[in-house]
Amino acid sequence: MALFSKKNSTAQSGRPDFDILPEHVGIIMDGNGRWAKKRGLPRSAGHKAGAEVFRNISKECGRLGIKHATFYAFSTENWRRPKEEVDALMRLFKEYLLEAKADIAAAENNKLRFIGEREGISDELLRLMDEAEEDTKNNTGCEIMLAVNYGGRQEIVSAVNKSLREGKTQITEQDISDNIYTVPECDLIIRPSGEERLSNFLLWQAAYSEFWYSDVLWPDFTNEDLYSALREFEKRNRRFGG
């Protein structure tokens, strides 16, 4: 008799095995501001720490064999924040983009994509985003989607408009599924920071998502937290209305 079930066995890397993995995971990277406040630091310090965690967790998704991982970095509503904070976020984004190619190349052959409305993003950032996508487009690992200037409603409206431009006069669910930014289903949505809401994330894709919440603030989020969410996902009984 085996001493450990497959579920409890760990690979040499210390990474657990999962019997069922979500194909598409969505992560709302929330709690950076509160993390900084707790330490008496400016909010930008929380965003910087959060960006490091994004780099680690996105790679871990690839190592685990998850096919698509969408990370919510900046919403269409986040422009309402003070200019100083928005500028700090855009600076961090640029820093990441400048290193993204090497960062991603070192990480399990992952593919990087940016989802969201391009209007509002500076030309310089758009160029770097396009380059990072181009450089990684033939990679076959996890498709890491960074949602920047993203809103779930905006995504659906833009999918409808795309179908209209193609000449459709009657829009079907399939048309929207075909024209949203990500694959149409999100299996698991992870939200740290104690908030239990979608905040305009993956509205279409979340129709039958499982949700996992935790009080941990995003800059403190570790691989173990990701494993906890995935272990919990394995136990969920998904019925899809049937």
Are the beta carbons of 225 and 216 closer than 8 angstroms?
yes
Task: Work out the number of other CB atoms within 10 angstroms of the CB of residue 135.
Answer: 16
Provide the minimum distance between the beta carbon of 30 and Mg ion in the complex, in angstroms, as a whole number: 4
- Count of chain residues binding Mg ion (CB under 5 A): 1
Q: Which amino acid is at 47?
A: H
DSSP E strands: which ranges in 92-140? Answer: 111-115
Q: Is 78 in the site for ligand IPE (CB under 6 A)?
A: yes
Q: Is 179 in the site for ligand IPE (CB under 6 A)?
A: no
Among the listed residues 75, 110, 139, 209, the single contact to ligand IPE using CB under 6 A = 75
SS3 212: strand
Task: Work out the number of other CB atoms within 10 angstroms of the CB of residue 173.
Answer: 10
Out of 56, 78, 109, 200, pick the active-site residue: 78
CA–CA dist 229, 165 (Å, integer): 40
CA distances from 78 to 53, 57, 90, 117, 124 (A): 20, 22, 12, 13, 20
Q: Is 223 in the site for ligand IPE (CB under 6 A)?
A: no
Q: Is 225 in the site for Mg ion (CB under 5 A)?
A: no
Residue 30 falls in the annotated catalytic set: yes
Provide the minimum distance between the beta carbon of 239 and Mg ion in the complex, in angstroms, as a whole number: 31
Q: Is 154 in the site for ligand IPE (CB under 6 A)?
A: no
Q: Is 30 in the site for Mg ion (CB under 5 A)?
A: yes
In the complex, the residues that contact ligand IPE under the rule CB under 6 A are 28-34, 72-75, 78, 89, 193, 195, 197, 199
In the complex, the residues that contact Mg ion under the rule CB under 5 A are 30
